[in-house]
Amino acid sequence: MHPIPSITITRLKEFIRRPEALFWVYFFPVLMIIVLGNAFQNQPIESFNVDVIENEHATALMEQLSNQSQIKTHLVNAEESSRRLRLGKSVLAITAGPDSDGQKQFVYRFDPQRPGASTAHNAVDDILQTANGRTDVFTAETTQLDGSGGTYVDFLVPGLLGIGLMGGGMWGVGFAIVDMRIRKLLKRYMATPMRKSDFLISMMLSRLVFMIPQIVLTLLVAYWMFDFKIYGNVAAVSLLVVLGAFEFAAVGLLVGARAQTIETASGLMNFVMLPMYTLCGAFFSYERFPEIFHPLIRWLPLTPIIDSLRSVMMDGESLFAQWPEIVVMAFWSVIPFGIAMVIFRWRD
């Protein structure tokens, strides 16, 4: 048998005999979808804990805010309010009282960097301004986004697919090679009539086979539990997934090409993956980062697979429209594989 299918079959057999690998590759992404999908689905209107500082004007202030279900008021002294703000038990503190001219005044205290604090400030200020005589010049109507492909779960699934492809390629290829090196298996492969390229290609192909049931299972669970749908071409999604799998398999090969210990391999993989977990838009849009970093983020390996999957799955765009992302994925597939071919070592 040719070395490529032989090694690929061997890797498949080794994989299915390790229950922990099956859990992390197939079931952990499903658990993430279930947990995060339930956490962000059908959420009630966000409410805010607001502290009213005790003084002779606090009772009137509490009454003005009492009918607002979005605002949960707590009557506390100034010292207790400072402690609650530091611990995140409240997001806003209000002190009512006259200013130097004897006019009514409200003093707000909050941390604008804390999630929800600025929103709470704007909501409370609007309520108090209206309660104290401000007249709105128009009425506004609010509707909830509930269209096809517009929920957070629809946004989340492509991100989790990208993370699954990244983790599978890095740990399933890079870590596996280092593990073989430590167990002296690579020295035995070196003694066979097998080229280095045959071995590396077979590692990438075995990862592709592992990936197919992982993607199918993740999409089936998302459809069954959250009514997730693919609004674009399924063949385009399949091709993007294959490109993503090869991309991270190549990066995994590069990481494992020279690493001699588990500690070194783990450090290198975490060095590569951890920035992408936070920067590449898996759980929230990378547009939140300063615009100066956007070009760099778009060239990270994880960003193009997530962006292209979202465009096809959520917006129904064509595969041709994803050519900038495909170019980046091709770069991260070819260049790391070529470097790995040059620097790969069978043994210490």
- For the segment 25-75, what is each residue's pLDDT rounded down to a tens digit? 667 777 877 777 776 665 556 678 899 999 888 888 888 888 777 888 899
What mean pLDDT comes out for the span 127-147?
69
Distance CA 144, CA 152 (A): 13
What percent of the chain shows pLDDT beyond 70?
88
Task: Render pLDDT for 303-335 as a digit per residue (tens, 0 to 9).
Answer: 999 999 999 998 888 999 999 999 999 999 999
Choice among 118-127, 204-213, 274-283 with the minimum mean pLDDT: 204-213
pLDDT of residue 212: 80
What mean pLDDT comes out for the span 271-288?
86
Q: What is the pTM of this model?
A: 0.71
CATH class of 48-131: alpha beta
Structural domain boundaries of the chain?
3-40+151-343, 48-131
Asked if residue 282 lies in contact with residue 302, where contact means CB atoms within 8 angstroms, the answer is yes
From residue 60, alpha-carbon distances to 53, 123, 128, 345 in Å are 12, 18, 11, 76
pLDDT of residue 302 exceeding 90, the answer is: yes
pLDDT of residue 169: 81
Asked if residue 321 lies in contact with residue 290, where contact means CB atoms within 8 angstroms, the answer is no
Alpha helices by DSSP H, the chain: 3-16, 19-22, 28-40, 58-65, 78-87, 117-131, 152-169, 176-182, 185-190, 196-226, 234-256, 262-279, 294-298, 302-315, 323-343
What percent of the chain shows pLDDT beyond 90?
16
Under the banding of pLDDT at 50, 70 and 90, the label for residue 11 is confident
